Chains A and B, each alone.
Chain A
């Protein structure tokens, strides 16, 4: 992790849901995608990635299924469920509210 920023649990969930919005991904590809899109600000370690993925799966927001990776490995890929899509919308709104509020606090 080093230079990367510590994540709030809710924030990680939001990022994971958002990452899966465009299509199914398996563990390492989720982590890489987050690292890429945040230009390395968030480097999600397996230690936080997997508990979060499983928690989201238990809640029915994402669904894991075993498929072949591009390299031909058997991997567990996660897909956003309709419920997860709704959850993503809710959390996005929530985040926007918080971000706005934070900005107001910091600029005042």
Chain B
């Protein structure tokens, strides 16, 4: 039976049941009618004849069932038989088959893992109700350097009342609280939210209730919602907690409810709303009545059903125009309305595209190895096949065998590949790139596995077709001629082409990896403006009810600094409002040199730092002085500015002693004058690859922030310092919670996370590709050597040196690598253009990235040729005789 017919019969047996049933009915009816006709002819009456015929037919339903079983059983039997035969065939060359399965498994396994990542990070819907209707609204302060700024309370209120596109709008602002209930006081990340926030996302509480409108209007935070994690960790999952009071910032606060276990707050990275938020409270003041310029709210909106992004955007822009007229301000009022899902995934699309493209190349390279193996097997079996054909097997029989082998190989590869994918995923998770925070949700679900199966099936079909050419040209005559050793030497042309393709694709991958590695090296080489090494950072609250006055808070800060500075190996200590690459929202505001102006004010990042901080962080002082203990609450308000601000505000002049108008208390307008006492180098604290805003530093005691982070510089390992630091803080005040204790360098690493992730993955794929390509080269050259062993023997007999024979073989290898590399170079140039957006400080035509892979590739190919060369030079005249 032809294999296609066999597949067809299986198909019919499963799918085309009704037609087959109808035909069976007709066949049985025909039988019955003929039976009746025969009885009639034998002289029975019509009635008798039908009765007798029915009796003879027996149970028709039972009969049909038996026939139907034969359809299925025999089709499955046939498939199983084919698979068994294919399995026997593969087992007959165990080394080759293993190699094929393992290489294919590496390719398809890596592809599966990456597919899982891509699905979870880019395509899985956000875990909220109807997420496609969720939008983000940003204030567009591009003129001031903030294209994506938060909104103010009144603006959020307007958004809810002056537009018609939205079903609901909500705001969130990340902050922190001290939870001092049961045991040690603990700092907890908290989100202040409007009552609309959770209903808008479609979140249902696991226990208790969510905030109601009344909780909002109340304007006081006397209630709290716990995350599931905090509830479990801190309250042991006590179901009685709902309705009870816990102590938050030393005030009794009622637990209204508990959020569901799976709830995660997924906002874009620059929203400054970390995933690690563990509790929520209503805003402790009436935000709608706050100053219009005080922007801190990250705003999520849900459109009404049927309202698209474009419509909503027009609606918001209309409102912005209204606001601009009613509340004239220099920069005007503008908003940016974007889809939440698209906004979250945007920064990941580029890197994941690069990774996906590399894994696709790797899959092709690995599959090409399988093709090579199958073609080699086919070539080796040409004689066997020819004999089969001569005995009447028919090309169809061979096609069937080949199909079974190809699919079996692909299926085995895919099965091992799933194991590879699982292992790969756990390695990926170990890399822990911050930006891929949804990676934790990656599972190889049925969709991913369906993709893998589809891929395997497609490749399996190709695997099945690959050897056919080899079989087809092996006519009986050729095969018998070959058996007599008369045939002209057959060059493995198809395999050579495949290996050339492998070499070319590998060069593309190597070059891509090279470009990304160079990018990462450039990023590593960037001077961020601070020295992260040997510094430990941790956070503590700077204001609790025990330290109610500025003087008490200052005293605490001084005591802490003294206690920490007294630790052995500690060289300096300082406190700051923000760490570089912090997960808390950025803090910034406008600055001005004059009393009043109609122009839009430029804005700067604000930081409050205590004495010793800039020294501890290693920020370079360009002129003037750092802050000291003398810059206290009662002293003259002072500031340190960065070089960018100094150049912009006072080009060519010294900023020292100049006055600057700023807004350290986020009042909405810059109404505080400070005197510039120092200029420091710009610190890249939010983006490594570009200098963003100008920076203004205030003394912590003049612009108070809560909590603060301490930096402790040590002569030893910063991580090892953590216990001593904890003990020192406890020694000062055992009720002070200390949290997020980690080396400062880990923040820097997090900032480089995506680049590191991309580089490592593409590098690993390129390395695997290199090995696979080397295997491919080896396969072809080894095959050539076997084919030409007789010829080499003759050459040796005629006086050729072994060296000459070795060179002959090497030349064959060089040909493959040379052509492959030339093609690969073209591909690499194209690929370089494609990934340009992921490169930094490296041109897509970087000489090193393009030059370095070549010797690597040639080296690998050389190693691959070593054994074949040895075999070739070991040829002898005896081989000729033996072959005869």
- Least CB distance from B808 to A in Å reads 48
Chain B residue with the shortest CB-CB distance to A82: B392
The answer to the question of B31 belonging to the interface, with a C-beta cut-off of 8 Å to chain A, is yes
B28 touches A46 (CB 8 A): yes
Whether A26 and B30, one on each chain, are in contact in the complex, defined by CB atoms closer than 8 angstroms, is: yes
- A27, B59: Cα distance in complex, Å: 17
Q: Which residue of B lies closest to A64 (CB)?
A: B27
Q: For the complex, is A60 an interface residue (Cβ under 8 Å from B)?
A: yes
* Bound form: Cα–Cα A60–B5 in Å: 9
Question: Pick the contact of B67 from A28, A54, A69, A71 — CB < 8 Å?
Answer: A54
Given contacts A27-B31, A73-B33, contact A45 B58 (CB under 8 A): yes
Q: Any chain B CB within 8 A of the CB of A12?
A: no
Contact A50 B27 (CB under 8 A): yes
CA–CA, A75 to B35, complex, Å?
A: 13
Which residues of chain A come closer than 8 Å to B758, judged between CB atoms?
none
The number of residues on chain A lying at the interface, defined by a beta carbon within 8 Å of a beta carbon of chain B, is 24
Q: Which of A58, A74, A76 contacts B74 (CB 8 A)?
A: A58
Q: How far is the CB of B604 from chain A (nearest CB, A)?
A: 81
| Residues A73 and B34 in contact in the complex (CB < 8 Å), given A54-B70, A54-B71, A60-B5 | yes
Contact between B67 and A50, CB atoms less than 8 A apart: yes
Q: Does A38 contact B (CB under 8 A)?
A: no
User: B70: which of A47, A51, A75 is its contact (CB, 8 Å)?
Assistant: A51
Contact call B78/A58, Cβ cutoff below 8 A: yes
Q: Are B30 and A46 in contact (CB under 8 A)?
A: no
Tell whether, in the assembled complex, residue B30 and residue A47 are in contact, meaning their CB atoms are under 8 Å apart. no
What's the Cα separation between A26 and B626 when bound, in Å? 106
A5 at the interface (CB under 8 A from B): no
A46-B57, A54-B67, A54-B70 known; A59+B34 contact, CB < 8 A: no
Contact present for A83 and B1 (CB under 8 Å): yes
Least CB distance from A55 to B in Å reads 4
CA distance A92 to B73 in the complex (A): 24
Residues of B near A75 (CB, < 8 A) are 27, 30, 34
Decide if A59 touches B63 in the complex (CB within 8 Å).
Answer: no
Cβ contacts under 8 Å, B6 to chain A: 60
Partner of B1, one of A26, A51, A60, A74: A60
Residues from chain A with a CB closer than 8 A to the CB of B30 are 26-27, 69, 73-76
Q: Is the CB of A47 within 8 A of B63?
A: yes
- Complex alpha-carbon distance, A52 and B67, angstroms: 8
| Bound: A76/B33 CA distance, A | 13
For A83, the chain B residues whose CB sits under 8 A away are 1
Task: Kindly state whether residue B506 has any CB partner on chain A within 8 Å.
Answer: no
Interface pair B34/A69, CB less than 8 Å apart: yes
Contacts of B24 in A (CB 8 A): 50, 54
Out of B26, B31, B70, name the residue touching A46 (CB < 8 Å): B31
Query: Given that A46-B56, A82-B392 are contacting pairs, would A51 and B67 also be in contact in the complex, using a CB cutoff of 8 Å?
Result: yes
Is chain B's binding surface mostly helix, strand, loop or mixed?
helix
Enumerate chain B residues within 8 angstroms of A55, measured Cβ to Cβ: 70, 73-74
Determine chain A's interface SS by DSSP, over half rule.
Answer: helix
Which of B9, B37, B63, B78 sits near A50, CB closer than 8 Å? Answer: B63
Instruction: Report yes or no: B31 in contact with A58, Cβ–Cβ below 8 A.
Output: no
Q: Mark A81-103, 1 if CB is under 8 A from B, else 0.
A: 11100100000000000000000
Which chain B residues border A76 with CB–CB below 8 Å? Answer: 23, 26-27, 30
| Across-interface contacts of B56 in A (CB, < 8 A) | 45-46
Closest residue of chain A to B74 (Cβ to Cβ) is A58
Q: Which of B55-69 contact A (CB under 8 A)?
A: 56-59, 62-63, 66-67, 69
Q: Is the CB of A46 within 8 A of B1?
A: no
Q: Is the CB of B74 within 8 A of A59?
A: yes
In the assembled complex, which residues on chain B have CB atoms less than 8 Å from the CB atom of A46? 28, 31, 56-58, 63
Say yes or no: B58 contacts A50, CB within 8 Å: no
For this complex, into which size category does the number of interface residues on chain B fall? 20 to 34
A28 and B56 alpha carbons, distance in the complex (Å): 12
A54 to B71, CA, bound (A): 7
Q: Are B59 and A47 in contact (CB-based, < 8 A)?
A: yes
Binary per-residue interface labels of chain B (709-725) against chain A in the complex, 1 for a CB within 8 Å, 0 otherwise? 00000000000000000
Q: How far is the CA of A27 from the CA of B67 in the complex (A)?
A: 13
Query: Which residues of chain A come closer than 8 Å to B1, judged between CB atoms?
Result: 59-60, 81, 83
Which residues A6-60 have CB closer than 8 A to chain B?
26-28, 45-47, 50-52, 54-55, 58-60
With contacts A47-B63, A82-B392 taken as known, whether A58 is within 8 angstroms of B27 at the C-beta atoms is: no
Q: Which residues of B contact A82 (CB under 8 A)?
A: 392
Q: How far is the CB of B242 from chain A (nearest CB, A)?
A: 66
Given A28-B35, A59-B1, A60-B6: A47 and B62 within 8 A (CB)?
A: yes
B397 shortest CB reach to chain A, Å: 9
- Known A28-B35, A54-B71, A59-B74; judge A47-B27 contact (CB<8 A): no
Which residues on the B side are within 8 Å of A51 (C-beta)? 63, 66-67, 69-70
Binary A-proximity of B30-62 (CB < 8 A = 1, otherwise 0):
110111011000000000000000001111001
Minimum CB–CB distance from A84 to chain B (whole Å) comes to 10
B392: chain A residues at CB < 8 Å are 82, 86
> How far apart are the CA atoms of A51 and B58 in the complex, in Å?
14
The reply to whether the CB of B695 lies closer than 8 angstroms to some CB of chain A is no
Task: Compute how far the CA of A81 lies from the CA of B56 in the bound complex, rounded to whole angstroms.
Answer: 30
Task: Report the nearest A residue to B64, measured CB to CB.
Answer: A50
Chain B residue numbers with a CB within 8 Å of A59 are: 1, 74, 78
Closest to B81 in A: A59
What distance in Å separates the Cβ of A78 from its nearest Cβ neighbour in chain B? 10
Closest to A31 in B: B31
Q: How far is the CA of A27 from the CA of B38 in the complex (A)?
A: 14
Residue of A58, A60, A73, A76 ringed by the most chain B CB atoms within 10 A: A58
Which residues of chain A have C-beta atoms less than 8 A from B78's C-beta? Answer: 58-59
Residue in B34, B62, B70 whose CB lies within 8 Å of A58:
B70
Q: Which residues of B contact A58 (CB under 8 A)?
A: 9, 13, 70-71, 74-75, 78
In the bound complex, how far is the Cα of B69 from the Cα of A75, in angstroms?
A: 22
- What are the residues of chain A within 8 A of B70 when measuring CB–CB? 51-52, 54-55, 58
**A residues near B5, Cβ cutoff 8 Å:** 60
A28 cross-chain contacts in B, Cβ below 8 A: 31, 34-35, 38
A75 CA to B27 CA, complexed, in Å: 6
B392's closest neighbor in chain A, by CB?
Answer: A82
Q: A52: nearest residue on chain B (CB-CB)?
A: B70
Give complex CA distance A21, B74 in Å. 22
Report B-chain residues with C-beta under 8 Å of the C-beta of A47: 58-59, 62-63, 66
Task: Report the bound CA distance from A59 to B70 in whole Å.
Answer: 10
A82 and B63 CA atoms in complex are apart in Å by 28
B34 near A50 (CB under 8 angstroms)?
no
Residue of A nearest to B33 (CB): A73
In the bound assembly, the distance between CA atoms of A45 and B30 in angstroms comes to 15
Nearest chain-B residue to A28 (Cβ)?
B34
Which residues of B have CB within 8 Å of A45? 56, 58
CB distance from A45 to the nearest CB of B (A): 6
> Looking across the interface, which residue of chain B has its beta carbon closest to that of A76?
B27
Q: What's the least CB distance linking A100 to chain B, in Å?
A: 27
Name the A residues within 8 Å of B71 (CB-CB).
54, 58
Residue of B nearest to A51 (CB): B66
CA distance A37 to B40 in the complex (A): 23
B392 to chain A, nearest CB (A): 7
> CA separation between A28 and B38, bound complex, in Å?
10
Q: Which residue of B lies closest to A81 (CB)?
A: B1
CA gap between A39 and B581 in the complex, in Å: 97
- What is the minimal beta-carbon distance from A53 to any residue of chain B, in angstroms? 8
B10 closest partner in A (C-beta): A58
Residues of A close to B67: CB separation below 8 A: 50-51, 54
A56 to chain B, nearest CB (A): 9
Task: Show 28 residue pairs from A and B whose CB-CB distance is below 8 angstroms, ordered by the A residue.
Answer: A26-B30, A28-B31, A28-B34, A46-B58, A47-B58, A47-B62, A47-B63, A50-B24, A50-B31, A50-B66, A50-B67, A51-B69, A51-B70, A54-B70, A54-B71, A55-B73, A55-B74, A58-B70, A58-B71, A59-B74, A59-B78, A60-B1, A60-B6, A71-B34, A75-B27, A76-B23, A76-B26, A83-B1
- Of all A-B residue pairs in the complex, the 10 with the closest CB atoms, nearest first, are A60-B1, A58-B74, A55-B70, A51-B66, A54-B70, A28-B34, A76-B27, A51-B70, A47-B58, A54-B67
